């Protein structure tokens, strides 16, 4: 039985790594035997060498920290504001009516479309980038929060009231946890899109950051550096996704095993 389990696991691992390995081998073969200019597809070794070079001279860490910092600040303040306003709007119905048109109109504008304007207003520094990410995170969280809190089963509120809960206890002890699945869905989209928007805005207006590294590599026709950056970006994106799902389980332990069965 144990052996069967092991060979099963081993088989799965093999199956999982089959495609990425074949891609690497194909890459290697194409560069070695194909007549492909290195500006289109650099040698694998060159990508690796670039990675070591940028790691050792500290540039990679520098651009990574700059990017992650922008992303984190924008995401944090944006989604905090989004959740905060969402809760307020759900609590005070007239406030929701007041904000309704404005919110739904500005939500409909893709946030990346605001980049040129923000650059005109605030230049090429950190602030417009963080602001753009913040705006996106805000709009991705405010509506799910509003809807999540608004749709909480009234029975839960009655339950808490019948045991003597006051408004504050209802808000923090009932409405927020009950709406958490919805709020968190918004936070998840906000987190992943923060990263997307960050790269976009760094590419079009960067002087630092991973997006800038990509654009800089394009200008100097340094394709291997581009590939290296893409792989780093991929790893970061992957980690971000994992982090979001991990915290979801921590924040909402009761949701475990409640997923839709497939």
Partner 1 sequence: MKLAIRNLRKEYNSDNRGTFVALDRLDLEVAEREFVSILGPSGCGKSTLLEIIAGLQEQTSGDIITDGCPIIKDSNKAQNVVKKTAIVFQHYGLFPWLTVQKNIEYGLKIRGIESKKRHEMAMHHIEMVNLQGFEKFYPHELSGGMQQRVALARALVNSPDLLLLDEPFAALDAQTREICQRELLKLWQRMKITIIFVTHDVGEAIFLSDKVVVMSKEPGRVREIIPIDMPRPRDFSVRLKEEFRKTEMSVRLMISEKEVQYG
Binding site for partner 1 (CB under 8 A): 153, 155-156, 158-167, 169, 173-174, 177-178, 180, 252, 254, 257-258
Q: Minimum distance from CB of 111 to partner 1 (Å)?
A: 32
Residues 6+ apart with CB under 8 A from 65: none
Q: Tell me the closest approach of the beta carbon of residue 170 to partner 1, in angstroms.
A: 8
Closest contact distance (angstroms) between CB of 157 and partner 1 is 9
Residue 210 to residue 232: CA distance in whole angstroms: 9
Can you point out the beta strands (E) in the chain? none
**CA separation for the pair 200, 189 (Å, rounded):** 16
Closest to partner 1 by CB, 44 or 165: 165
| Rounded distance between C-alpha atoms, residue 216 and residue 22, angstroms | 30
Residue 119 Cβ, how far from partner 1 at the closest point, in Å? 43
User: In angstroms, rounded to a whole number, what is the distance separating the alpha carbons of residues 134 and 153?
Assistant: 31
| Residues 139 and 106 sit within 8 Å (Cβ to Cβ) | yes
* Nearest CB to partner 1, comparing residues 19 and 155: 155
Look-up of token digits 């790893």: 235
How many Cβ atoms sit within 10 Å of the Cβ of residue 110? 10
Q: Rank residues 128 and 148 by Cβ distance to partner 1 and give the closer one.
A: 148
Tokens 């009516």, residue located: 97
Using CA atoms, how far apart are residues 241 and 187, in angstroms rounded to an integer?
Answer: 12
For residue 250, the minimal CB distance to partner 1 (Å) is: 13
Of 17 and 169, which has the nearer Cβ to partner 1? 169
Residue among 84 and 177 whose Cβ is closer to partner 1: 177
CA distance 177 to 182: 10
Nearest CB to partner 1, comparing residues 168 and 262: 168
Q: Taking a C-beta distance cutoff of 8 angstroms, is the pair 30, 22 a contact?
A: no
Report in angstroms how near the CB of residue 83 gets to partner 1 at its nearest: 17
Q: Which is nearer to partner 1, 137 or 179 (CB)?
A: 179
Least separation in angstroms between CB 184 and partner 1: 12
Buried b (16+ CB within 10 A) or exposed e, 5-40: eeeeeeeeeeeeeeeeeeeeeebeeebeeeeeeeee
């Amino acid at each position: 039985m144990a052996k069967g389990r092991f060979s099963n696991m081993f088989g799965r691992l093999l199956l999982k790594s089959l495609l990425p390995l074949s891609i690497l081998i194909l890459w290697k073969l194409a560069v070695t035997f194909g007549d492909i200019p290195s500006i289109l597809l650099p040698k694998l070794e060159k990508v690796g060498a670039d990675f070591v070079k940028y790691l050792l001279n500290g540039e990679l860490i520098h651009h990574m920290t700059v990017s992650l910092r922008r992303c984190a600040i924008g995401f944090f303040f944006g989604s905090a504001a989004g959740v905060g306003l969402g809760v307020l709007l759900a609590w005070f119905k007239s406030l929701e009516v007041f904000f309704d048109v404005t919110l739904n109109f500005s939500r409909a504008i893709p946030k990346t479309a605001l980049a040129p304007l923000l650059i005109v207003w605030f230049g090429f520094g950190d602030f417009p980038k963080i602001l753009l990410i913040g705006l996106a995170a805000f709009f991705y969280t405010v509506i799910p929060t509003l809807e999540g809190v608004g749709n909480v089963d009234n029975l839960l509120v009655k339950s808490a009231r019948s045991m003597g809960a006051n408004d504050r206890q209802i808000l923090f002890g009932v409405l927020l946890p009950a709406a958490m699945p919805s709020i968190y869905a918004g936070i998840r989209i906000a987190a992943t899109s923060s990263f997307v928007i960050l790269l976009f805005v760094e590419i079009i207006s960067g002087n630092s950051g991973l997006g800038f590294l990509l654009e800089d590599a394009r200008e100097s026709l340094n394709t291997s550096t581009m590939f290296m950056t893409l792989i780093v970006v991929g790893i970061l994106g992957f980690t971000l996704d994992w982090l979001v799902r991990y915290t979801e389980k921590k924040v909402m332990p009761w949701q475990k095993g409640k997923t839709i069965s497939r």
